Amino acid sequence: MKFEIFQSEGNEKFYFRLKAKNGQVILSSQGYASKASCKNGIESVKTNATDDANFERKESSDGKAYFSLIAKNKQIIGNSQRYASKDGCENGIKSVMNTAPQAEIVDLTVEA
């Protein structure tokens, strides 16, 4: 599992996404004005992902399950993809809890 930092061409904000080994995006962030703030968001995921109480289970308007990871200040750190079932959503939460704290960070904004 890895975090990817990227920048939107449209609004020039920085975002992160947490990807599973199969390349599927499990968690996506809001837009950040600076790369440093984006990196702080990743550290917040790593800190808060270990506690099940920080995950809010939700249902989208189309009936699909998803979750939000919440920081201690009750702000949303990231939102998951939409899952076809609640079991799939729970598996996503377990995956984030177990692997996000050790996930590597890949900065896609750095030119090779």
* Phi, psi of 92, rounded to the nearest 5 degrees: -65, -45
Which residues fall within 8 angstroms of residue 88, CB to CB, at 6 or more apart? 65
pLDDT digits (tens, 9 = 90+) for 44-74: 999 999 999 999 999 999 999 999 999 989 9
- Give the pLDDT of residue 21: 86
Which DSSP state fits 16? Answer: E
- The answer, yes or no, to whether residue 112 has pLDDT greater than 60, is no
**Distance from the first to the final alpha carbon of the chain:** 22
Q: State mean pLDDT over 6-26.
A: 90
Number of domains in the chain: 1
pLDDT digits (tens, 9 = 90+) for 78-98: 999 999 999 999 999 999 999
Assigned domain for 89 exists: yes
What pLDDT score was predicted for residue 102?
A: 94
Residue 112 lies in a domain: no
Q: Does some domain include residue 91?
A: yes
Please, which pLDDT band fits residue 4 given cuts at 50, 70 and 90? Answer: very high
Residue numbers of the domain that contains 76: 2-107
Q: Is residue 79 part of a domain?
A: yes
Percent of the chain with pLDDT over 70: 98
pTM: 0.89
Domain at 103, CATH number: 2.30.29.80
Q: What does the pLDDT read at residue 79?
A: 96
- 13: in domain: yes
DSSP 16-58: EEEE-TTS-EEEEE--BSSHHHHHHHHHHHHHHTT-GGGEEEE
Q: Could you tell me if residue 41 is inside a domain?
A: yes
64: Cβ contacts below 8 Å, ≥ 6 apart = 82, 83, 84
